[in-house]
Structure 1
């Protein structure tokens, strides 16, 4: 038995048609927690991307053939690469390699000055949407359903 089995989805059966949902948060602990939350939520195959470097995220999403990418923003002073424009850079690169991948941003509450940038990113189709504040299970399920509908054979579900 190999400890490093290739993680391939089953060709058929339960879980084969579920979207691959990748999550990337500013800290490894929060990324793991978000992936666990998605796993418990169900309706997807969660993947935690433990590095939020653009090249790492793009590579991991491409290797895992992610259908959905959830990126958390960080509005702390001096953290520009995790702001709206930095996260949109990642979204553009992921979509260049995976055109069908849906990208959503999760934003902390209390930064109304970022709303215009978020709306513009959606308008320019750099991202598919965003959530400000706590992400509810209902909102995540909506995003997963939208993702499943765009997957090959998704309209039959």
Structure 2
């Protein structure tokens, strides 16, 4: 029995245009990451993947190995937690996109930190990330992001 599952080959042939995006979730704790991946799976419209380590190298490696089409990264604005703030998460987004140029990256932020809004807006303006959500991520917002990702995937495959 292998501890590592084999990756599926890229979709091709009839029905390839209906391939579901690989949605990677990386939240502050492994438990929250598992919940986010399960939630995405139950929501449908994607093949969810939980990235249990939020270390820069681990996230980049796993997104690359799994060929993620979408990455959800949670931010942590607690005092003294600099490696999960806007700039450090944007660093991850830039490196993931360097290896996977078509991967869409979204940040999920806790509510109550209006001072971070300017940094989030600037990250979108500079195209470091595709968007963000402040407060609880709703099913509707996740569905919009998944639909945008699926649409971008289809545009890449169409001649």
TM-score, normalization: structure 2? 0.90
Q: CA deviation at 1:154?
A: 6.7
Q: CA deviation at 1:35?
A: 0.2
* Distance in 2 (alpha carbons) for counterparts of 1:152 and 1:113: 37
Q: CA deviation at 1:11?
A: 4.5
How large is the Cα RMSD of the aligned pairs? 2.1
Which of 113, 137, 146 matches 2:148? 146
Aligned to 1:120: 122
Q: Is the 8 A contact 2:43 2:139 kept in 1?
A: yes
Which of 60, 63, 77 matches 1:61? 63
Aligned to 1:22: 24
**SS at 1:151 equivalent:** helix
Task: Render the CA deviation track for 1:26-52: whole Å, top value 9, x for unaligned.
Answer: 100000000000000000000000000
* Distance in 1 (alpha carbons) for counterparts of 2:3 and 2:132: 37
Q: CA deviation at 1:8?
A: 1.5
Which of 81, 85, 92 matches 2:94? 92
* Distance in 1 (alpha carbons) for counterparts of 2:156 and 2:95: 24
* Distance in 1 (alpha carbons) for counterparts of 2:154 and 2:7: 21
Aligned to 1:6: 6
Distance 1:154 1:95, change over 3 A: closer
Aligned to 2:81: 79
> Is 1:134 aligned to residue 98 of structure 2?
no
Q: CA deviation at 1:2?
A: 5.0
**SS at 2:73 equivalent:** strand
Distance 1:93 1:3, change over 3 A: closer
Distance 1:82 1:4, change over 3 A: closer
Number of positions where the alignment pairs a residue of Structure 1 with one of Structure 2: 156
For structure 1, list consecutive stretches of 5 or more residues without a partner in the other structure: none
